[in-house]
Amino acid sequence: MSGNFFQVDKIEQRLFYYLCGVAFFLPFSKAASNIFLGFSLLAFFHRMFRKHDDAAKNFRECKKIFEPIGALLAAVLISALFSGEIAEGLINFTNKYIFHMSAMLPIIFVRFDREKIFRLFKFLIAGVFISNLVVVIQALPHLDARRWRFGGTLSVMSQGSLLIMFLPVFLILLMYLKRRSLKILVLLGFVNCLLAMIFNGTRGAWVAALVLVPAIIFLYFGFTKKSVAGFLIFVFATGLIFFTVPAFKRRAWSIRSMKMRSNVERFLMWESAFNMFKDHPLTGVGYGQYGKAYQTKYILPKAREKNLVHAHSNVMQMLGECGILGLSAFLFLWLYLSIFALRGWRREKNIACLMFLCMLWGMMLHGLTEFNFEASVPSKILWFSLALCLAYMRSENSKLLPENGGIIS
């Protein structure tokens, strides 16, 4: 084997190509993205073996971000150790947390220049476009159906999370970019994402969009004539869809209907999760044990869906499964990352921070009525995007990443 294979620059080159594969396939192919993620981790460890003298400095620059992440990992791990099924809990912990979060490690511990960070983001956006396009193509033969529920290559709910994470990202790019040719491409991506969201039919994502899109418009422009005009256009367009597309209208109005079984089941599941918390307030029923506890002890007599394994809510899942310890760590992480991204936007108008805020809040708002925090695609994209945000800031010598690592001060 050629000696070039072991040279650090060649290892980093391979690592970057693998990360491009992760970014591109992540939104629509779990199998392909896992293969590229596996190769990228092998290349990352190879690089750390050959050259690791810069690892401590790279970690220091981002260490404040790892503190809330570490707190969440510790809380979930403690819950797993007290679950009564330790082996099962540790396996789930390794898969849902360690493996999903590993997508961010190569980008944080290996410095890539700004152009390569841009390229990774472009591959991610291209993958999202393809994922959304598959949903639209699936829906086209069914336009006369009474309702639409299509997930493309993902589950319907995971696709819904992906859509609400990236719809505002396309909107930001549309407002931010100046070149006409790029604006046209981004506009196609935005329309494609909007159509996919309609055909996906995930009501939690729709509600999240109604909150998040106006918020992003006002964050970007401030309270100006542009933001008010954009808000009014959004309200008018949304109202037009509500009143002119019968299938959309029926689906949207079902959000507040207590006659719809899925709504009733959610409230029953949340009540069951709260009962788990009351019986096990500190660490919950144990990480990885929600499904078993729900089906054998905590399911309510009125519930019809007997085989559910999660609470259809990030908050209630954490409360029932990991107790106040897990929920506190989860909410702290959400708040911390939100402050970090908002501060990055307000202090430096750093577009990467605003886009990460969109993905974070899109996932979390949808996660109020769906358990998506541990779902493979949304989870990996969240951590991968956080790493891209940090890498971009580092390439800009951002004041939010000082030498002492003090991100929030």
Identify whether residues 285 and 338 lie together within a single domain.
yes
For residues 331 and 275, membership in a common domain is answered with yes
d(CA 208, CA 229): 20
Residues 312, 322: Cα–Cα separation, whole Å: 15
The reply to whether 336 and 285 lie within a common domain is yes
Say yes or no: 214 and 308 in one domain.
no
End position of a domain, from candidates 206, 227, 256: 256
**Side-chain-facing half-sphere of 350: CA atoms under 13 Å:** 26
> Is residue 342 assigned to a domain?
yes
Tell me if 54 is assigned to some domain: no
Could you tell me if residue 82 is inside a domain?
yes
Give the Cα separation of 98 and 282 in Å (integer): 23
- Give residue 260's pLDDT: 77
CA distance 206 to 196: 11
Q: Which two tokens stand for residue 380?
A: 């990996």
Burial of 292 (0-12, 13-18, 19+ CB in 10 A): middle
The answer to whether position 226 is within a domain reads: yes
Per-residue pLDDT of the chain (409 residues; tens, 9 = 90+): 556 778 999 999 999 999 999 999 999 999 999 999 999 999 999 999 999 898 888 888 888 899 999 999 999 999 999 888 899 999 999 999 999 999 999 999 999 999 999 999 999 999 999 999 999 999 998 877 767 789 999 999 999 999 999 999 999 999 999 899 999 999 999 999 999 998 998 989 988 998 999 999 889 888 888 788 877 887 787 777 766 766 667 777 777 766 777 888 899 999 999 999 999 999 999 999 999 999 999 999 998 888 888 999 999 999 999 999 999 999 999 999 999 999 989 888 889 999 999 999 999 999 999 999 999 999 999 999 999 999 998 887 666 665 544 444 4
Residues 275 and 385 in one domain: yes
CA triple 355-55-75, angle to 5 deg: 65
292 in a structural domain: yes
Is residue 290 domain-shared with residue 397, that is, in the same domain?
yes
Q: 43, exposed or middle or buried, with CB in 10 Å at 0-12, 13-18, 19+?
A: buried
In this structure, is residue 18 part of a structural domain? no
φ/ψ (deg, to 5) at 59: -70, -45
How many domains does the chain contain in total? 2
Query: In this structure, are 330 and 349 located in the same domain?
Result: yes
Contact assessment for residue 116 and residue 18, using Cβ atoms and an 8 Å cutoff: no
Same domain? For 272 and 249 the reply is: no
Do 271 and 247 lie in a common domain? Answer: no
In the prediction, which pLDDT does 339 show?
Answer: 94
Q: How far is CA 406 from the centre of its chain?
A: 24
Same domain, yes or no, for 271 and 384?
A: yes
Q: How far does CA 317 lie from the centroid of its chain?
A: 17
Of 233, 256, 279, the position where a domain reaches its end is 256
Nearest residue to 72 via CA among 48, 97, 92, 47:
97
Determine the pLDDT at residue 309.
87
Q: Where are the beta strands (DSSP E) in 52-136?
A: none
- Do 141 and 222 fall within a single domain? yes
Which domain does 377 fall in, by range? 77-105+267-402
CA dist., res. 379 & res. 236, Å (int): 33
**pLDDT value, residue 400:** 64
Domain membership of residue 147 (yes or no) is yes
Domain boundary among 234, 256, 278: 256
Residue 386 lies in a domain: yes
DSSP 95: I
**Do 157 and 101 sit in the same domain of this protein?**
no
> Is there a contact between 79 and 89 (Cβ–Cβ < 8 Å)?
yes
How far apart CA 15 and CA 13 sit, in angstroms, is 5
